[in-house]
């Protein structure tokens, strides 16, 4: 295993937290992701489904977890089904988890091969009062292919049509939004790896380098430090490309005088960092770049101060919009008349800052959580305001990741260069 795994105690506690939220007599089933094919005999790298990973730590395909806390037979209160390993699999792919290895890693004592799943399920289902099925209910999810969990849900509803079905997703969103110390440490590891990549790139960037060369520098540093690579497709955007919010071509040269926006993060153990930094290609900010950069930085610092226990995310985003409005007026990008006559559904500041300021972060880059509930200790958020001036070929976004603490928050990026002078010192040191 490339990364340091979390303790079996952590996964046992996660399962206990989930089962404590279930209805009496409920039985919950979670499935791993598929390995998705490309063409011929190729396939994409495996990425485990976040929910089954959160509950078990198992990071391989063809895995099913059954939680049935009220089962009369204690053996069936937690059951894990695994792909059966073999000598052939070990030769061609590498050995899969053994039953004892799974017990040690997950804390689950009852392990079967997945070929036994239907037989065991038929044994325990008659006791269940309802069945919890899982699905991707993220507010921004657009799923156009059938996942293994979707396929399983359809199969279960067809085969057992008379069972009462409950949804696991609302419970998982509540639980996964609150990170414990082990998860925060794993996130910090991903962030620290990202930091090393950023330091490397600041010393590498100069006029004439290609955006994809910078992407390669990050990848080199991430892999050599135990990451499996980028947490998401990186944005390496110089000049006007920084005004394209989801620019991922990364195929243009970095020109002298341009600013370079880099939205990148390392993955570590399935946890994800999410950083954005802007640096001058030639090592020195122009007066205008400095002016806009510092405006974004002030909004980021102000937004960070608002994120604390009890904050309401809707109110938070409105307050950040007010901060940004002031900065844009001061930059003479919008006028007070435009502000007074703005559409409340699309305020004047949205012309230059059109995306949200924060999202949950964790096992998914846009992690799950309930947006209608007050902010809690253990929530982890990004803070990422930006100003995008297309007419000036200038786009600036600055992004850190913070964890909510009893007295406010802790910036997990606090050791990163972020001030104009800090960035210039590293680039010219």
Token pair in block for residue 183? 């998860």
Is CATH 3.40.50.1390 what the domain over 181-428 is classified as, yes or no? no
Which one is predicted more confidently, 37 or 11? 11
The pTM of the whole model exceeds 0.85: yes
CB atoms within 10 A of CB 222: 26
**To 10 degrees, the CA torsion angle through 424, 354, 211, 423?**
10
Q: Could you give the residue range(s) of every CATH 3.90.230.10 domain in the chain?
A: 181-428
The pLDDT value recorded for residue 138 is: 87
Whether 11 has a pLDDT exceeding 90, the answer reads yes
Nearest alpha carbon to residue 404 among 384, 379, 383: 379
Residue 91 has what pLDDT?
80
Q: Which of 146, 64, 72 is CA-nearest to residue 108? A: 64
DSSP symbol at 37:
B
Residues 104-116: tens digit of each pLDDT:
999 999 999 999 9
Q: Tell me, what's the pLDDT at 314?
A: 95
Q: Would the pLDDT of 139 be above 90?
A: no
Q: Is the pLDDT of residue 86 over 90?
A: no
Would you put residue 136 in left (φ > 0), alpha (ψ -120 to 50) or beta?
beta
Q: Which residues have C-beta within 8 Å of that of residue 346, sequence separation ≥ 6?
A: none
Closest by Cα among 314, 292, 316 to 393: 292
Contact 48, 60 (CB under 8 A): yes
Average pLDDT, the chain: 96
Quickly count: other Cβ atoms within 10 Å of residue 416's Cβ.
Answer: 18
> CB under 8 Å to 84, separation ≥6 — which residues?
96, 113, 114, 115
- The pLDDT of residue 143 is 83
**Does the domain made of 8-176 have the CATH classification 3.30.2320.80?**
no
Q: State the pairing for strand pair 386-389/394-397.
A: antiparallel
Kindly tell me if the per-residue pLDDT of 324 is higher than 90. yes
* 373-427 per-position pLDDT tens digit: 999 999 999 999 999 999 999 999 999 999 999 999 999 999 899 999 999 999 9
Mean pLDDT of 272-277: 98
pLDDT confidence of residue 188: 98
Is residue 279's pLDDT more than 90?
A: yes
Q: Any idea which residues carry the catalytic annotation?
A: 41, 246, 263, 274, 355, 359, 366, 384, 388, 397, 399
Amino acid 129: pLDDT: 97
pLDDT of residue 87: 80
Q: Per mean pLDDT, which range of 6-10, 94-98, 271-275 is the poorest? A: 94-98
Confidence at residue 103, expressed as pLDDT on a 0 to 100 scale: 97
The CATH 3.40.350.10 portion of the chain extends over: 8-176
The pLDDT of 72-95, averaged and rounded, is 90
pLDDT at 1: 78
pLDDT digits (tens, 9 = 90+) for 336-345: 999 999 999 9
What was the pLDDT predicted at 189? 98
């Amino acid at each position: 295993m490339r990364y340091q795994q979390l303790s079996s105690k952590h996964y046992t506690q996660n399962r206990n937290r989930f089962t404590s939220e279930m209805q009496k007599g409920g039985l919950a089933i979670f499935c791993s992701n598929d390995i998705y094919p490309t063409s011929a005999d190729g396939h994409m790298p495996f990425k485990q489904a976040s929910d089954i990973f959160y509950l078990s730590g198992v990071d391989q395909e063809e895995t099913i977890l059954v939680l049935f806390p009220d089962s009369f037979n204690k053996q069936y209160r937690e059951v894990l089904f695994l792909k059966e390993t073999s000598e052939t699999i070990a030769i061609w792919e590498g050995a899969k988890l053994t039953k004892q290895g799974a017990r040690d890693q997950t804390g689950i004592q009852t392990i079967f091969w997945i070929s036994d799943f239907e037989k065991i399920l038929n044994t325990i289902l008659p006791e269940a009062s309802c069945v919890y099925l899982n699905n991707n209910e993220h507010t921004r999810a657009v799923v156009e292919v059938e996942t293994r969990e979707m396929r399983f849900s359809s199969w279960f509803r067809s085969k057992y049509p008379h069972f009462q079905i409950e949804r696991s997703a609302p419970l998982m969103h509540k639980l996964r939004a609150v990170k414990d110390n082990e998860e925060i440490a794993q996130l910090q590891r991903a962030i620290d790896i990202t930091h090393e990549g950023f330091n490397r790139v600041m010393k590498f960037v100069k006029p004439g380098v290609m955006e994809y060369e910078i992407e390669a520098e990050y990848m080199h540093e991430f892999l050599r430090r135990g990451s499996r690579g980028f947490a998401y497709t990186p944005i390496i955007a110089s000049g006007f490309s920084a005004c394209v919010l989801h620019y991922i071509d990364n195929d243009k040269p970095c020109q002298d005088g341009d600013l370079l926006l880099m939205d990148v993060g390392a993955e570590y153990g399935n946890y994800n960092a999410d950083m954005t930094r802007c640096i001058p290609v030639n090592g020195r900010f122009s007066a205008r770049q400095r002016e806009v950069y510092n405006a974004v930085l002030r909004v980021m610092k102000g937004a960070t101060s608002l994120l604390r226990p009890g904050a309401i995310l809707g109110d938070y985003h409105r307050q950040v919009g007010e901060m940004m409005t002031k900065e844009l007026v001061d930059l003479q990008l919008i006028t007070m008349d435009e502000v007074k006559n703005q559409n409340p559904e699309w305020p004047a500041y949205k012309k230059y800052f059109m995306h949200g300021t924060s999202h949950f972060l964790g096992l998914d880059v846009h992690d799950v959580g309930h947006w209608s509930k007050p902010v809690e200790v253990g929530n982890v958020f990004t803070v990422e305001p930006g100003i995008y001036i297309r007419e000036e070929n200038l786009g600036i976004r600055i992004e850190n990741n913070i964890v909510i603490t009893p007295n406010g928050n802790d910036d997990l990026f606090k050791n990163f260069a972020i001030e104009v002078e800090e960035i210039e010192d590293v680039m010219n040191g």
